[in-house]
Each structure stands twice: as C-alpha cells, then as structure tokens.
Structure 1
C-alpha cells in the first residue's frame, strides 16, 4: 500500500486534515467544546430553575416548602406558571401568623402568671375563678347564668 499524496491534491494541506488512520484533532476539540457547552448550559438552566427556591431559602421564608414544590411541579410538568408563582412567593414576605399568635399566647401566660406552655391545658374552674372582694372565689363552679345574677 502506498501512502503517497494524490497528485490532484494541493501541495500544502491545512493542519486539520489528517492522514488516513491518524487522530482528527479538530473533531476531538469540537467534541470537548460541545460537551462543555451542553454541560454549561444545563447547569445554567438548573441554576435559573432553582432561583426561587434558593431565594426563599436564603431569606428563611415561611413559604419555602410551597416554593420548592412549585419549582418541582414546574420542572416535571413544564408549566411555567408554577415557576412564576414560586418566584412571586419567594419575593413576597408573608406575615408569620402562627408565630405571632404563639408570642401573644406566651405573653398572656406570663401576665396571667401561668407556667409557659400550659395555658391551653384544661384547668379547673377553681384555678381560673376570679376572686371576689373578700378574696374567696365565689363563682367557682357556678354556671354562666348564676354568675350573671350574682
């Protein structure tokens, strides 16, 4: 077998043209760039897709779980409205209603002299009765009508 150059070919070939059986360096470089571009664009898309969840997590939002579920729904259903809703929820500060009521209950327990965390327990009427002018709780155990008539 003769490896001579075809006489119709130009005398100087570009460097990306390889001999038969040689390594095609241009194809190897193009494959590396293609794989890098696909991975880079995929990571960029993933970072953009998880933006609402990361925003809600960073600011310790109450609605973090809802934002995370909306992000997963948007990822698996390809319905972009879920992603937009998650982004809006991540940007909005919702008031901490349960925490606010818990703080109010704790303050009322402190004012009433009840041990913290026991204000919701069932207490007997004698413990919660209001003492009369003589210091005795006259209405302990009395019905509402009896208390109103006394």
Structure 2
C-alpha cells in the first residue's frame, strides 16, 4: 500500500528500511515483540528446569527425603531465597540411611513373640511328638497327654 506522502523537508533523500511510513505496520517492532516473547518463555522454562534439579535428583530416594527436597525447592521458588535451593540440592545428593525398616522389622518380630499361642486341638497332636520329661537320673520319659513339661511351663 503505497501512499503519496510528501517527504518532510528536513528528511534525507534516502531513509533506512526499518523506518516505516505513517499508518503502516512496523515489521521490526513485530519481529522484536515475537523474539522477546519467545526469549521470556525460553528463559522461564530454563529457570523452572534448573529449579527442579534437586527434585529430579531425589526422585529415587525415600518418600520423606523426596518430600523434604520438594518443599525446600518450592520455598526457594516462591521466596527467591537461594539458600533453600542449595539445602534442597545438598539433601538430594546425600543418601540418608533407612533406619525405620530394621526398627519396624524388630518391632514386628517382638510383637509376634508376645502374642499368645492357641493350643492345637486334641485330635491334631501326634503322640510320637509329645514332649519328654527328664527323670532324676538323666533319662527321659514321655509326658502324659495335656500336661506341661518342666521346660515349657504351659500346656502345648
């Protein structure tokens, strides 16, 4: 769209290509705006990608450690305090030993030892497997059915 616009008397005879006539679209401005939008989106993505490094490193760790790293990284993101991010990165890189699993296993074993045992039904007891009671001279004899042995102190 060429218009017959009179040149200003102070304007040089040849104008550079980035200067547009009044009322026309400025391609340099449009290109600059598109470039800046892409640049801001790219830098924002890079910022969030860098901010998620501690969480990605802690992904294979235990649940509690992963959650602590996530909270610290989120605090660093919202408060713009880099110290939280450094702590999250250090916590993600240091493996924390699992103390809970052995303790839970010990507690389960102790609980199973404390549970009272029910005696088997009378028809399920094999007489050949009856406990032996010691005699005075070191020989053994079979305990009568239903009686406790000296070592056990309770009924089978």
Could you tell me how far apart the structure 1 residues matched to 2:38 and 2:49 are? 16
What does residue 72 of structure 2 align with? 70
Structure 1 residues 118, 101: closer, same or farther in 2, change over 3 A?
A: closer
**Per-residue CA shift, 1:47-97, capped at 9, x if unaligned?**
11111011111xx11111110011111122222221111100110111122
Where has structure 1 moved over 4 Å in runs of 4 or more?
Answer: none
Please give the root-mean-square deviation of Cα atoms over the aligned residues, in Å: 3.1
TM-score (norm 1): 0.68
Q: Which runs of 5+ in 2 are unaligned?
A: 120-130, 134-142, 144-148
- Are 1:61 and 2:52 counterparts? no
What does residue 145 of structure 1 align with? none
Structure 1 residues 133, 66: closer, same or farther in 2, change over 3 A?
A: farther
What does residue 153 of structure 2 align with? 139
TM-score (norm 2): 0.66
Could you tell me how far apart the structure 2 residues matched to 1:140 and 1:33 are? 87
Structure 1 residues 100, 118: closer, same or farther in 2, change over 3 A?
A: closer
- Are 1:120 and 2:99 counterparts? no
What does residue 5 of structure 1 align with? 7
What does residue 33 of structure 1 align with? 35
Contact kept in structure 2, 1:52 and 1:87, CA below 8 Å: yes
Q: Which runs of 5+ in 1 are unaligned?
A: 106-116, 142-150
Match of 2:99 among 80, 97, 100: 97
Count residues in correspondence. Answer: 124
